[in-house]
Amino acid sequence: MGLSPWTRRDLLATFLAAPVAAASCRSGAEPPPLPPGELIGPSVEVGHRLRDGFRPEPPADGWVDMPVVIVGGGVAGLSAAWRLERGGLDRFALLELEPDLGGTSRAGHSDVVAYPWGAHYIPAPLKEDRALVALLDEMGVLEGRDAHGGPVVAEQFLCRDPEERVFHRGRWYEGLYLTAGASGDDLAQFETFRAATREWVAWRDGRGRRAFGLPIASGSDDAEVTALDRLSMADWLGARGLTSERLRWYVEYACRDDYGGRLEQRSAWAGLFYFCSRVGGFDDEAQPLVTWPEGNGRLVAHLAGVAGERVRSGLAVTDVRVVGTTIEVVAYDVAADAAVGFRCDRAILATPSFLTERLVAPLRDGVGPRRDGVPYGAWMVANLHLRDRPRLRPGNFPMCWDNVLVESPSLGYVVATHQTEQDRGPTVLTYYYPLTDENARDGQQRLLSAGRDEWAEVALADLSVAHPDLRELTTRVDIMRWGHAMARPEPGTVWPPDRQRAAEPVGRVHFAHTDLSRVALFEEALYHGVRAAEEVLAASGRRVESLAL
């Protein structure tokens, strides 16, 4: 490995743990050769030039008239395009820098199977999430409605059983909460926790809204609920005397998995939202998970298909300004090395908050609430291509969709072939590693301090603890470094006083992004995209039956 400035031992000790480093680096042993692979990553160069004040100006003949321009081809932007199309407004352009659409929901594929590069599931929606129900209906994912009008997801799109297993001290166990070896007190605390979340599930405010709804805008903003945001999840557990190590690991896993952070760093509102928002319907059970081999890449592919030719990729928007009743959107065409301009009636900014703040002229000038206070977390995602399945030692629970290592700082891996129903032969494992540093910037620096080889080594060394034969089976390891993976719902950041206002349009500029919700979820991106598109549809005089709320 080209490990400068790392030695293998330092690398593994830094990103995994000293014992793993020691076991992997027995003195004298040559480091095993790495499988090939590449570093895949969002283009940072143009973004960082923009941060440093890059504002090219299009020539006079470089302008196009377009009624609506959507900036950003992540889930929020694609959802806005989908809603505009559904609403009968089909003349728009969607501008995206990356060649691949979908942002952190994007996917890749091999000869064997498609696999995710980020977000990889959604809980089956309750009927209240009208936008998501409509989308899944359109995709043919729903097969009807149950007796209470709730959407019924077709069997093949629900996560196939067995769903999850955990690796603890040399063995795989079924489920995510480790019951093997749990004491009576552990189990009692687990029950206490569940009872507390059930109370929040049943809670309704004066207007009959749930404490935690999906989308969040359908839930309550009552002070009793939003007060939770001032606590960390660790504080909340501590206040209830919930000290069981297993329970704390379980709850922390949720915080790391959905929010990329530890118990002390994540808002109790966000922590409880994770456990409560996906419980509902008439059985009060957690909603089953809907997933595809390529994760939410399947949803992206559908939305991108709807947007079709109107997507213009390779365009980095550098400026959005107001000229009278016209919005001017200036973009830098990376391939042509030239600026192009769009004159439109309205623009939808489906960009992360730190970018929105820099792109939109009125916001630069201090109009409306500031948006750049949202802290951002970094993630590494590795896709490991295997020529065969790791050997299962007797007494271990077999491979599941989600495979979690209790003693690892990573989140473990998901198996792409789980949903294709192939139980043998080659597969792709997607390994997730959130950088949970206290300070977001430190996490980003640590992410970038290691390259393809180093991250591939971390992933292999980590998973080899559970699968000693993994290295021999792995034929390729590709690495994605997400410097700005998701908003980090730190205590006090989810419900700022101007939360509502940040989503409101500034003149003819509309805003759509999960950052407005402060938690990075497909449902939230979809909601904001649909809401912003509906604002535009209504402004254009069309009658809109809202899917947003």
Residue ranges binding another protein (CB under 8 A): 23, 155-156, 158-162, 170, 288, 391, 393, 398, 420-424, 468-469
Nearer of residues 370 and 387 to another protein, judged by Cβ: 387
Q: How far is the CB of 163 from another protein (least distance, A)?
A: 8
In single-letter form, the type of residue at position 469 comes to D
Buried b (16+ CB within 10 A) or exposed e, 385-421: bbeebbeeeeeebebbbbbbbbbbbbbbbbbbbbbbe
Q: How far is the CB of 381 from another protein (least distance, A)?
A: 25
Nearer of residues 442 and 469 to another protein, judged by Cβ: 469
- The DSSP-derived string for 473-509 is HEEEEEEEEEEEEEE---TTTSS-TTHHHHTS-BTTE
Q: How far is the CB of 254 from another protein (least distance, A)?
A: 21
Q: How far is the CB of 170 from another protein (least distance, A)?
A: 7
Strand order in the sheet with 427-435: 39-40, 474-487, 376-386, 427-435, 413-415, 402-405, 164-168, 171-174
Nearer of residues 140 and 398 to another protein, judged by Cβ: 398
Are 342 and 64 in contact by the 8 Å Cβ rule? The answer is yes
Q: How far is the CB of 406 from another protein (least distance, A)?
A: 17
Nearer of residues 93 and 112 to another protein, judged by Cβ: 112
Q: How far is the CB of 23 from another protein (least distance, A)?
A: 6
Nearer of residues 356 and 417 to another protein, judged by Cβ: 417
Q: How far is the CB of 156 from another protein (least distance, A)?
A: 6
Separation of alpha carbons 449 and 443, rounded Å:
10
Nearer of residues 156 and 439 to another protein, judged by Cβ: 156
Separation of alpha carbons 7 and 175, rounded Å:
36
Nearer of residues 268 and 404 to another protein, judged by Cβ: 404
Length of the chain equals 549
Give the residue from 131, 233, 132, 115 showing the smallest Cα distance to 488. Answer: 233
Nearer of residues 465 and 487 to another protein, judged by Cβ: 465
What separation in angstroms does the CA of 191 have from each of 158, 186, 281, 424, 521?
27, 9, 21, 37, 27
Q: How far is the CB of 159 from another protein (least distance, A)?
A: 6
Nearer of residues 133 and 289 to another protein, judged by Cβ: 289
Q: How far is the CB of 72 from another protein (least distance, A)?
A: 34
Are 428 and 384 in contact by the 8 Å Cβ rule? The answer is yes
Are 68 and 91 in contact by the 8 Å Cβ rule? The answer is yes
Separation of alpha carbons 309 and 423, rounded Å:
38
Q: What kind and span of H or E run contains 306?
A: helix 297-307
Separation of alpha carbons 499 and 110, rounded Å:
41
- The DSSP-derived string for 76-116 is HHHHHHHHHHHTT---EEEEESSSS-SGGG-EEE-SS-EEE
